């Protein structure tokens, strides 16, 4: 009886300790990762008791916010360059950068009869083509590389409609403001529009869209932020990321 009572007290103390250690992390996240992030947060919070608040935007704008003191604990970019720059500038924890996903670029339209072969459609000189702003959105950079490698950058440049983020670019197409454009494969899957036209851009037409995360200085003493970074490299998180249309980087650490 005494042993059972001691065991109960110990269990209660452990539970109380776990609750007091639960923390909240605020994470800046590239807009293309919005739907996947919601799934990951739900699983992470269930398994750890921590809370995660996500703020979405273009990688370039989030980077600028962090440089100007925005209160984020971690940064999940759509490229590798900006997390590296933050570490070089002393704004992120050295050695904490990790690749968490590799994006896939898709030429997409809501119109199911618009195209089957994206090359043919682009060669037809569409009147308006949506892309992410190359200055702020890595997916926009990839789109420009595709057009350059197809020899169409000059002809289509006047017809490009740029969204500040890949999320805004997707909205241009979804609302009909642009008939087609380059977006992330994960966005098309989340939209669940199986009747649209989609052409998965061959990887040979652009540099890899390697998405990296980094622990920011503000999150260095935050248990939730540390646990979130570890969670991203775990099998459960990677399974969700892969299912949503991303490739998983081969290397697990930077």
CB 85 within 8 A of CB 58: no
Q: Are 215 and 92 in contact (CB under 8 A)?
A: yes
Closest CA to 106 of 196, 28, 14: 196
169-200 burial, b if ≥16 CB within 10 A, otherwise e? bbbbbbeeebbbbbbbbbbbbbbebeebbbbe
Same domain, 117 and 234: no
How many structural domains comprise the chain? 2
> Is 253 a domain residue?
no
Chain length of the chain: 254
Check whether residue 174 and residue 120 sit in a common domain.
yes
Residues 6 and 92 in one domain: yes
Does residue 225 fall inside a structural domain?
yes
- Domain containing 160: what range? 105-200
Together in a domain, 97 and 13: yes
143, 131 Cβ separation under 8 angstroms: yes
Residue 35, in any domain of the structure: yes
Residues 111 and 164 in one domain: yes
Distance CA(126)–CA(173), nearest Å, equals 13
21 located within any domain: yes
Residues 187 and 230 in one domain: no
Give yes or no: residues 10 and 80 share one domain: yes
Give the global pTM.
Answer: 0.87
Are residues 140 and 177 located together in one domain of the fold? yes
The reply to whether 251 falls in a domain is no
In a domain, 109, yes or no: yes
| Together in a domain, 109 and 96 | no
- CATH code of residue 7: 3.40.190.10
Q: Quick one: pLDDT at residue 206? A: 97
- In this structure, the answer to whether residues 74 and 92 fall within a common structural domain is yes
Residues 176 and 236 in one domain: no
Residue 248 within any structural domain of the chain? no
Tens-binned pLDDT, residue by residue, of the chain (254 aa): 444 433 433 444 334 444 447 899 999 999 999 999 999 999 999 999 999 999 999 999 999 999 999 999 999 999 999 999 999 999 999 999 999 999 999 999 999 999 999 999 999 999 999 999 999 999 999 999 999 999 999 999 999 999 999 999 999 999 999 999 999 999 999 887 567 999 999 999 999 999 999 999 999 999 999 999 999 999 999 999 999 999 998 754 33
Within-domain flag for 28: yes
**Same-domain check for residues 7 and 65:** yes
């Amino acid at each position: 009886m005494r042993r059972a009572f001691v065991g109960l007290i110990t269990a209660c103390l452990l539970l109380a300790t776990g609750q007091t250690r639960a923390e909240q992390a605020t994470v800046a996240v590239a807009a293309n990762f919005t739907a996947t992030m919601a799934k990951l947060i739900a699983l992470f919070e269930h398994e750890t008791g921590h809370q995660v608040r996500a703020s979405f935007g273009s990688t370039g704008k989030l980077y600028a916010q962090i440089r100007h003191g925005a209160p984020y604990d971690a940064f999940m970019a759509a490229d590798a360059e900006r997390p590296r720059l933050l570490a070089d500038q002393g704004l992120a924890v050295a050695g904490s950068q990790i690749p968490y996903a590799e994006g896939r670029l898709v030429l997409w339209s809501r119109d199911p009869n618009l195209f089957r072969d994206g090359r043919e459609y682009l060669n037809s000189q569409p009147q308006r083509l949506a892309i992410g702003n190359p200055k702020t959105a890595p997916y926009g950079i990839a789109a420009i590389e595709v057009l350059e490698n197809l020899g169409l950058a000059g002809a289509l440049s006047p017809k490009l409609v740029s969204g500040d983020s890949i999320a805004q670019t997707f909205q241009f197409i979804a609302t009909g403001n642009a008939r087609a454009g380059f977006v992330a494969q994960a966005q098309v899957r989340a939209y669940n529009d199986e009747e649209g036209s989609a052409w998965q851009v061959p990887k040979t037409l652009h540099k890899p869209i390697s998405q990296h995360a980094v622990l920011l200085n503000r999150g260095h003493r935050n248990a939730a932020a540390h646990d979130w970074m570890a969670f991203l490299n775990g099998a459960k998180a990677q399974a969700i990321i892969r299912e949503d249309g991303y490739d998983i980087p081969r290397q697990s650490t930077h």
